[in-house]
Structure 1
């Protein structure tokens, strides 16, 4: 119990004052847990507040349009999380009479809720004795106990989950789970942890053996794929031509501009690139370079170039995803961050200047 007691004592003194820690409402805790996946608290907190303000109940969430959900989600990345949340809210209203489940075995059935999230919600809302294992917990356990099994391997997950459940403080699982997660986030950080003032330092395997920077171990993932997307901006009569992205690729149901994807970065004056553009937008198409951006996703690096396009031809009967919108209407539509940033810089900033 020394490990658990030290963590809980540290937590009671050092914990951050976060709004979802003042409630056992499963819906509110669900919002916080999903928003904070792959997201730092500092970045996720404004989104949590925004979602709770717009959707104070799960019924409010369920009745929203997907476009509104994705617009509120804009900038967080991993947009499938927002779509899954919307689907889950509708399931809760339909199948659970609008009462958000607070037990693991019901939560795990819902879309977008995996083992970690189900354990967290059930632990924090109902006190169910489920160990929560996220990246912070993997790191604390790996360093303290000197575990070198890769945390993203099947054997590693099995080993760490078994240990986490053995260590779980059954008298107050919610308090212990919050403590170990917070300890990993604030004290046992991925880089430059302050080991000299760590209450677990004397017993920590990694600290005693000089392996703090080597643990935990992760199997290296495949290299990120590079993609080159060339966007063509058509602006007429205070309206801009936009496209709703379809299923089967990144940014599903977000809005961007007509584009041509190439296998490498192309100079706008390159003859092959000019021929490719004219084959898409017509032989009289005239385009000029605006700017380039790089957008980094988890598995892809997107190299983006923006061009102003004139004298183009579109077949709106065949390309149903294309539409003209005013800038004010565009602002209401969910966009990939790289598009949103461009719109702010190119349209609004230029207009103000």
Structure 2
């Protein structure tokens, strides 16, 4: 009985699937790159990134031999930069532990940096047609509605329950096609809000539709606590050059570059800036400091965090000892460095300091 679900969804998929480049290959490396990009990124946004990334790093070997800063630069704008760092580490591991050949065993794929059960299953099934069910957010939604499962999907109990069910539904003859169909059905048809249930190919089998519960599923047990942070960036001009630093702490945007930063409990007005200890230490010995502009506050939303930022454009007459600890670079060369989308957006909006 359960195979009827697979038959119906795969039939729907074959008529409605999108033509995506990673679906036209069995290359495990390319499939892996696409899956990592799409973990937190919509397809229409991720497409160009995928194409640029595999053009520059077409093989595991090329990726492993690249400089991490360049890898992060190609990832710039996608966010969740730990994905790029893990890709880089995993590529090096494939070179050292698997002689440069992408592993074909699920357990070995799972052992790579940044790869969880979903990504391992995706690569194993799409590249090698192995019988591992892929359970992403789309599949959670489809299964929770089809079978009216009210177990909150953000719990360990749900993970086991949904994985077992997904594995039972998996077509042993063609797991790759089945997995693609399930994910595509959730992405295009069984959408989070206002799905067209009355025209759904599965409405006769969908328990949530029968019980008028579609809008209530899937359920989550808790809301993520969101914290606010306040960033005062110093965009400094000294003789046509500015200053950058690399974020090395275990924090957001690890290993990306940024302007000197003063983090505070709130955005600092200019009249309080000169009394700030970090500001005074940074510019100690500078004879003339001119505040050229203070940007409008910007809200940058990350998972679990809201970043409120302002960019303070400053011109200085001489270089302080404090600034010598930063990377001095010509203003017109900033684009060589991988920066957060927040800083990239600022640079796109602003001309050099005058």
Please give the range of the TM-score, normalised by the shorter of the 2 chains: over 0.9
- Say if 2:331 is the partner of 1:330: no
- The match for 1:315 among 296, 315, 321 is 321
Q: For residue 105 of structure 1, what is the aligned residue in structure 2? A: 107
In 1, the alpha carbon distance for the partners of 2:261 and 2:320 equals 12
In 2, the alpha carbon distance for the partners of 1:316 and 1:66 equals 27
Secondary structure of the residue aligned to 2:214 is coil
Q: For residue 294 of structure 1, what is the aligned residue in structure 2? A: 299
1:136-215 superposed matches below 5 A: 136-215=138-217
Secondary structure of the residue aligned to 2:115 is coil
Secondary structure of the residue aligned to 1:5 is helix
In 2, the alpha carbon distance for the partners of 1:149 and 1:257 equals 45
Q: Deviations over 1:228-251 (max 9, x none)?
A: 010111113322211111132211
1:1-353 superposed matches below 5 A: 1-269=3-271, 271=272, 273-276=273-276, 278-282=279-283, 285-287=289-291, 288-311=293-316, 314-316=320-322, 320=325, 322-347=326-351
Contact 1:103 1:128 in 2 (8 A): no
In 2, the alpha carbon distance for the partners of 1:264 and 1:328 equals 30
Contact 1:281 1:313 in 2 (8 A): no
- The runs of 5 or more residues in structure 2 that have no matched partner are none
- The 1:96/1:328 distance shift into structure 2, 3 A limit, reads farther
Residue 173 of structure 1 deviates from its aligned partner by: 0.6
In 2, the alpha carbon distance for the partners of 1:95 and 1:181 equals 32
Residue 343 of structure 1 deviates from its aligned partner by: 1.2
Q: Deviations over 1:4-60 (max 9, x none)?
A: 111010000000001111111111111111111011111111111011100111101
Residue 102 of structure 1 deviates from its aligned partner by: 2.4
Residue 309 of structure 1 deviates from its aligned partner by: 2.1
RMSD: 1.8
In 1, the alpha carbon distance for the partners of 2:245 and 2:206 equals 54
Contact 1:239 1:326 in 2 (8 A): yes
Residue 219 of structure 1 deviates from its aligned partner by: 2.1
Contact 2:238 2:315 in 1 (8 A): no
- The 1:64/1:213 distance shift into structure 2, 3 A limit, reads same
- The runs of 5 or more residues in structure 1 that have no matched partner are none
In 1, the alpha carbon distance for the partners of 2:297 and 2:328 equals 24
Residue 286 of structure 1 deviates from its aligned partner by: 4.3
Question: Larger deviation: 283-292 or 70-79?
Answer: 283-292
Secondary structure of the residue aligned to 1:189 is coil
Secondary structure of the residue aligned to 2:215 is coil
Secondary structure of the residue aligned to 1:261 is strand
In 2, the alpha carbon distance for the partners of 1:103 and 1:315 equals 54
TM-score by length of 1: 0.93
- The 1:159/1:323 distance shift into structure 2, 3 A limit, reads same
Contact 2:283 2:322 in 1 (8 A): no
Aligned length: 346
Q: Deviations over 1:61-96 (max 9, x none)?
A: 111100110000001111000000001111111111
